[in-house]
Amino acid sequence: MPAALPRALTDSWRAARHAVVLCGSGVSAESGVPTFRDAQTGMWASFRPEDLATPEAFQRNPSQVWDWYAWRRELCDRIEPNAGHLALARLASAMPRLTLLTQNVDGLHQRAGSPEVLEIHGNIHRNLCFAEGTPVSDADMIAGRPPTCVRCGSLVRPAVVWFGEAIDSDMLDRALEACRDCDVFISAGTSSEVYPAAGFGRIAADTGAVLVEVNPDETPLTPICDYVLRGQSATLLPALVAAYISDEERQ
Ligand code: NAD
């Protein structure tokens, strides 16, 4: 049974020609990827993500950081996209323009079939040369914990944005352009606490977009949202997409 949406939201949503959907780790929670706050299990229980996901941590103890990412990568390999990811992939072909921004590094949007995803925090399945910041393919690294770059001998690191690191400036420009252009902005499964992504919704609202939050809990974005859909993204995102597509099919 699809979740019921407020009538006024459905009307704005069906008229939308460009939506931005910003996803956070909550969107992958129902696939079984722990959110950062919940990821402390087993041997990693005594570590804080802030102590593992920084360039300084990698310099201090590269094998420990590499092992943590190897463990998270294996988790991601074992799970599947959920109904929320699949709905967003479907929306991409139904809407004139969809900008899918994700803070997730798990690659589940691509596996669900989304054609274009701005992965603002990178992707856990790709790697970079720690010295040069350039992409390193599996063929270009020498095995180890961590592996080393075949070109320069430097350590290889996961291609994710760590605490204290900047987001790629081209990616940020594209995200900001989309936020200023969209008529609906959906913030899904994010705590709206990690900047700059946490500021995107306000930028969209300031330029006239309808702001929608999909989250079981209150966040700092909630007070400025036009609509707050309390619940899980694997239920609510399919409901939103079904509402949009059913209208498209009537035209
Ligand atoms: P967060 O952990 O700070 O917040 C998760 C949010 O999701 C919370 O507000 C929570 O209420 C909500 N949530 C939980 N279950 C949900 C569900 N089923 N449906 C909808 N919402 C749900 O995550 P964040 O805001 O993405 O930011 C933290 C950082 O953690 C990001 O930088 C991200 O890159 C990183 N991270 C990524 C992954 C991943 O790739 N899947 C996993 C953990 C952390």
- What digits encode the pLDDT tens for the residues 28-50? 999 988 766 665 566 667 778 77
State the distance from the centre of ligand 1 to the C-alpha of 9, rounded, in angstroms: 24
The closest residue, in CA terms, to atom 32 on ligand 1 is: 103
State the distance from the centre of ligand 1 to the C-alpha of 122, rounded, in angstroms: 15
pLDDT category of residue 146 using cuts at 50, 70 and 90: very high
- Judged against a pLDDT cut of 70, whether residue 101 lies above it is answered with yes
Give the span between the Cα atoms of 162 and 122, in whole angstroms: 9
pLDDT, average across residues 195-218: 97
The closest residue, in CA terms, to atom 14 on ligand 1 is: 26
Query: What is the model's pLDDT at position 251?
Result: 45
Q: Which of 18, 109, 121, 125 is catalytic?
A: 121
Task: Evaluate whether 199 touches 221 at the Cβ level (below 8 Å).
Answer: no
Query: What is the model's pLDDT at position 250?
Result: 44
Query: What is the model's pLDDT at position 50?
Result: 78
In a mutational test of the pocket of ligand 1, which residue from 21, 27, 36, 200 has the highest number of ligand atoms less than 8 Å from its CB? 36
pLDDT category of residue 1 using cuts at 50, 70 and 90: very low
Query: What is the model's pLDDT at position 48?
Result: 80
Q: Is there an atom of ligand 1 within 6 Å of 84 CB? A: no
Q: Is there an atom of ligand 1 within 6 Å of 190 CB? A: yes
pLDDT, average across residues 169-174: 97
What is the bridge-based pairing of β-strands 118-119 and 122-129?
Answer: unpaired
Name the residue type at position 20: V
pLDDT, average across residues 41-70: 86
Query: What is the model's pLDDT at position 47?
Result: 77
Q: Output Rg (C-alpha) for the chain, integer angstroms.
A: 19
Beta strand residue intervals within the chain, DSSP E: 18-23, 97-102, 118-119, 122-129, 135-136, 141-142, 148-149, 156-160, 184-188, 210-214, 227-229
Task: Evaluate whether 129 touches 121 at the Cβ level (below 8 Å).
Answer: no
- Judged against a pLDDT cut of 70, whether residue 150 lies above it is answered with yes
pLDDT category of residue 219 using cuts at 50, 70 and 90: very high
Q: What is the mean pLDDT of the chain?
A: 93
Task: Evaluate whether 21 touches 98 at the Cβ level (below 8 Å).
Answer: yes
**pTM, two decimal places:** 0.93
